[in-house]
Structure 1
Amino acid sequence: MFPRETLILERSADLDVDVEILVDSHAMACDTQVNSGFTSTHFLYLSCLLASHAFHIRSFFANTRDFRDIIWLCMDLRWVTMPRLKKWVLSCPDNIASELSFSEEHWVDPIHVLEYSAKDVQPSAQELQRWSGELYPLLRDVECSGVPYNWNLFSASNIQNLCLAYQPWDDRPSMETLRGILSNSMNTLKTLVLACVVDTDSGSPPPAVRLVLPRVQNLTLGYRISQEVQVLLRAFEFPAVNKLVIQPSEAGTGTADVFINVMNYLPLDQLQVLELWAAYFGSVLPGLDPDLVKKGCITEEALPVALRFIRRLTSLRLLSLHFPCREFLKYMNYPVTRPKDGTGLPPNKTVNMTGLRALLIHSQHPDIDHDVVSFIRERMEQGTVNGKYVGPVMGAMTLFLSQASQADIESLGELKLAEKTRLEYFS
């Protein structure tokens, strides 16, 4: 079993090895997504083989459709020293996050790699850090997505890039446990992904003091219900964040509440990169006169959530919108409020998001495409004076749209919103 892999590992004993295992995985190319026929015996044999070569594994990447495959794959790596390991990635599809537990019929053994060995007592933070430093001294990148762990014993420390994602409701770490995990890397974390991983039903009040993660620059928040984002942002502070990704696992789930909490707890004025997935804010408020917004006749608190959010993004340079809603696109073209001293603004500074250097919109849905076309048309019209476009110009604009929208896009003529425009149409 696995003769070629065995030979490769034996002949590379003096070299660092990068292990990548894709079995019936969404990460595989479409033309290779066939059933592997692998059984638990295959994974257990492979686990034994990898354990004997753990001393020179530099990175470990496993992506399967079933989390049980990964449990078997990691079985013999339990508490094994991996002195060269720098990257550890275990990933399964995110649909497990909608379940109550990893298995309602049978008890599931959690994955024991990165786990502290003793189960009788809860180890201290210092003990967890010591254990991680001894077994995985070079480990810096960790992703545990859609796989079961005993989170109380999770030892990974001094991590730079961490992704904890897609846990069933009953198997999520408590806020106290999650806080402990992040505190063990609080001074090293630069990139953090927390998606469908926080327990919202514990009934515990928010911590009296938020844990400051001073070096996190790239933050991804994923959720099934809006309370998950609120609980996270009440517990952790991100003073250095400049890239934010917001990704619900179901489109339109409490979007407005999510963005209210984001505005309350994150320094949006310093964001340079923003990526939004399926953010749905509802309908554009009727009667919200752009001229009243321009003149400052409406208080900030009375503005719609989407518009308030957009107006906070004063440093934004790169915006990616995946399946955007009409409201967000509409308010992107609303005028900024004139200075109180009455001075006018140059034509390229009169609408929201004039500082953008790049815009990506991913739609591929005819209804959304229609809103995208309207957004482009309105922005070009607002920036045109005496037949000449003088509005804001980005460096690059990329549009992924359905084939049905091609004629509408071509009817706009030259797209003057960007120096370079890339158009991709899909049937």
Structure 2
Amino acid sequence: MHRGVTERQREGGLSGDERLRRWRLVLGGGDADGTGRALGGTDAAMDAALGALYGKAHGDGGGAAPGAGGGERTAGLGASAPSVARWLGDIRRYFPAPVVQVMQRDAIDRLGLAALLLEPEMLEAVEPDVHLVGTLLSLGQAMPEETRETARAVVRTVVRGLEERLAARTRATLGGALDRGARTRRPRHRDIDWDRTVRANLRHYLPEHRTVVPQRLVGFARAAQGLRKEVVLCVDQSGSMAASVVYASVFGAVLASMRSLDTRLVVFDTAVVDLTDQLDDPVDVLFGTRLGGGTDINRALAYCQERIGRPADTVVVLISDLYEGGIRDELLKRVAAMKAAGVEFVVLLALSDEGAPSYDREHAAALAALGVRAFACTPELFPEVMAAALEGRPLPVPGP
């Protein structure tokens, strides 16, 4: 690994001193790091910020390292909010936003800082991201009223960024799928599907004119002409699904904004909550969830099944790691019944950038036997998955 890194650095034109500097920051100093490189100024401050989180006191295996003042470096941010707020300010000053987000997440996991996020001044110091939103939502009712508005502002910042990243592409992809989903043989000129029209009229090709004379036009029916699909997002809000809940709320709001879709959003643990009437604001949706607790997928699907009016025009998307606390056999029978009625059924083990989480493999295999494949889905892939489901064609399942 050392050789690969240094070769890439050499190709980038880095000097030997710069390479040593970078390795010193990575390895943390001490006799074992082999660089012999001393740090000062900004580098020493960066080293101290890294050491507070990744130093030897938290089992990273690293040896003692001199800090900015030459003393032994150990991990720890102290118990006070001011010291943590200063550290958060330091890492935002010295590192790019993606690195800051990773360090914040590690600090919450390794040093137990979640409780400090209940203080407004702490929230003002953090770099907002999806995982931070999940942590805030998991705090739930423990969040004091004076912190709640600050937390909403943080969540709204993340949601707005996700909408800018995902909304336009989702509407374009699904709008095309909905148009393609209904064909008409008497289309208006702007709705003619020329590719299908040409293929349908190849027998009428006139060689002498090198043209096809269309006897039959094939086109797209518009949503205004009566096409209306139903989409049900059924989302597991157990603690491990935090990022999926965030993305599902954003996609739910985007789908609900499309006039050719009837969209329902249902979240569940052992209870079922229908958040459809809040889909105009995904921030309200997120604060209507309750991360953590048990899981009763069967109960949630029973609720969804009862509200499906036109099965052949309905797509149900279950987002869950499939660890079922309810009646498993009933769940499988319910899925089979919905499919038999014409429902397009999709199971996503996660809707996030992290890939497949831990999930119930036996349960996933049982669903696969019913013709329902379960897979993890990134936010970028989700519009294509939904488009395929709406058109009734094979889903773009990612490889293993």
If the length of structure 1 is used for normalisation, what is the TM-score? 0.36
Asked which structure has the greater CA Rg, the reply is 2
Q: Which has the higher helix share?
A: 2
RCO greater where, 1 or 2, for CA within 8 Å and sep 6 or more?
A: 2
